[in-house]
Amino acid sequence: MKKITILIAAILMSFGTSNAQGEQNNAGPYFSAGRWFVGGTFNATAQTQKSEDSGGSEDGPKSSSFVLTPRVGLVLSHAIGVELGLGYIFSGTKTFSFDNESNKVELKDNEGVFVISPAVFYYIPFTNHFYCLMNLTLGFGFGSATNQYLGYNPDTGMDEVQSIDSKLSTFRAGISPSFLYFLNNYWALSLGFGSLYYQSSKQTNKEHSDQILKNANYGIDMSLATLFLGAFWYF
């Protein structure tokens, strides 16, 4: 985590040194200090896997995700702004297994998380209408997860779909680029892709609170899950 923080700070400082003079001269009217904005970003992905061999084909995991984050923010100066996002993230995976009678059974793993995400952004003007933003964002998430599996029921002598319900908390810190294009003095469209990040999660079994699963990872993410479309109104 310390290495990620140092790297983020170094990136922000390098952008500030190389672009400060240009921003003072070319920032344009849209990012004037004191302007508020409201809007949001959206992302949706879906993926299906299928394996084939001489015996035929077999469906693999199917995954999907959905992210919607309304945002409100304020331009503080000619180069810096702040914003707050309140969003919802859903992700689901469908897998297939076979019970003790060779019946194909679908199993689902779902996660739903409400996220609070404060952010600081540093913008670089290309033209009066077109900007690149470097976003330093924190995300605090709270929600639940359901994981299904095949379990043997001794009363029926059959495999049955069972589930584990858990409480889920997450944390994410990252720096990500985005591009903003102003259609006029009030409306702007945004596109973001890619992230340098650190994230962790804690999953606690609702029935057995002593069963806790923790995960942490960091790196560079260039997957479609980091592709965000957005629209904002400035006033």
Q: What is the pLDDT of residues 10-19, one digit of tens each?
A: 444 444 444 4
pLDDT at 28: 56
Decide if 94 contacts 106 (C-beta within 8 A). yes
pLDDT at 3: 47
pLDDT at 29: 67
pLDDT at 12: 42
pLDDT at 53: 66
Identify the burial level of 14 via C-beta atoms within 10 angstroms of its C-beta, where 0-12 means exposed, 13-18 middle and 19 or more buried: exposed
Q: How far is CA 121 from CA 3, 16, 78, in A?
A: 20, 12, 11
Helix (H, G, I), strand (E, B) or coil at 14: helix
pLDDT at 61: 86
Q: How far is CA 207 from CA 162, 164, 168, in A?
A: 14, 8, 13
Maximum Cα–Cα distance for the chain, whole Å?
77
Q: Name residue 101's amino acid.
A: E
Query: What phi, psi does 2 have (nearest 5°)?
Result: -65, -40
pLDDT at 13: 47
Closest CA to 136 of 176, 170, 101, 85: 176
Positions of the chain with pLDDT lower than 50, given as ranges: 1-26
pLDDT at 4: 45
Question: What is the DSSP secondary structure assignment for residue 222, as one 8-state letter?
Answer: -
| pTM (predicted TM-score) | 0.79
Which tokens go with 203? 């999953």
pLDDT at 153: 85
Q: Name residue 78's amino acid.
A: H
Exposure b/e, 191-211, CB count within 10 A at least 16 = b: ebebbbbbbebebbbeeeeee
Closest CA to 142 of 94, 93, 87, 197: 87
Closest CA to 42 of 200, 225, 177: 225
**What domains are there in the chain, each with its CATH number?**
2-49+62-234 (2.40.160.20)
